Amino acid sequence: MTVLAEHHSADAKHSFFVMHNRAVTWGIPGEPQLVALHLKRNHAAGTYQFDHAELPLPAMAQSWLIARGCPEEEILLPDGMGTAPANEATSALEKRLRSDGDHFALLTSYTKDDDPVQTTVMLRAVDEKATLPFRVLLEEVDTTAWTHTLREGGFPTYEAATQWWEAHWNGDKPQLPTASPATRATAVPGLPVRLAPPRGPSR
């Protein structure tokens, strides 16, 4: 585990971590490589307990921790830790992901950690009346500039989102349809869904 960001409460009762699990790259291809960890201590009893979630994007791990009481500004990744946002649109979307903890459920994700490095995430709106209930996030990393872009697309049905997902990983590179920023995406764990992995040699 590599600690990317951490925060400890003034009374030392709570610790929050965003970590990268380097062992995942040797496991099942595509699995999330980030771990959000919330550690709670009972000093009087001399005990502790913890909860954690495996998530595909730093902003989603941060959202999970913020929902459990961690101040947003204390769990941001320091400069030089990971790639930097390549543009303002990426920074704005990441901020929305961090700030909302209960609008969407995480259905599935796929992380490709060899060039070109990419992560796709599929989310579903908790609100059944949402106009575009399915969202796909696409993060692409520029390993030369050490930056990343993050984009969001909205879909009316699971089938439409799945068609885009499979076309993307089959190499067709379809455009992401525009998603209204009024409906926001976040990191609420949901039921896992398995989609077809990208074609290519296994790691």
Tens digits of per-residue pLDDT, 160-173? 999 999 999 999 98
Q: Give the pLDDT confidence of 70-129 residue by residue, as tens digits.
A: 999 999 999 989 899 999 999 999 999 998 756 889 999 999 999 999 999 999 998 888
Vertex 109 angle, CA 104 and 110, to 5°? 160
* Average pLDDT taken over every residue of the chain: 88
| Helix or strand holding residue 61 (H, E) | helix 58-66
pLDDT band at 180 (very low <50, low <70, confident <90, very high): low
Entry pTM: 0.86
- The CB-side HSE value for 105 (13 A sphere, CA atoms) comes to 12
**Mean pLDDT confidence for 45-71:** 96
The single-letter DSSP state of residue 174 is P
**Mean pLDDT confidence for 166-193:** 67
| Helix or strand holding residue 165 (H, E) | helix 158-169
Q: Give the pLDDT confidence of 131-177 residue by residue, as tens digits.
A: 899 999 999 999 999 999 999 999 999 999 999 999 999 999 899 99
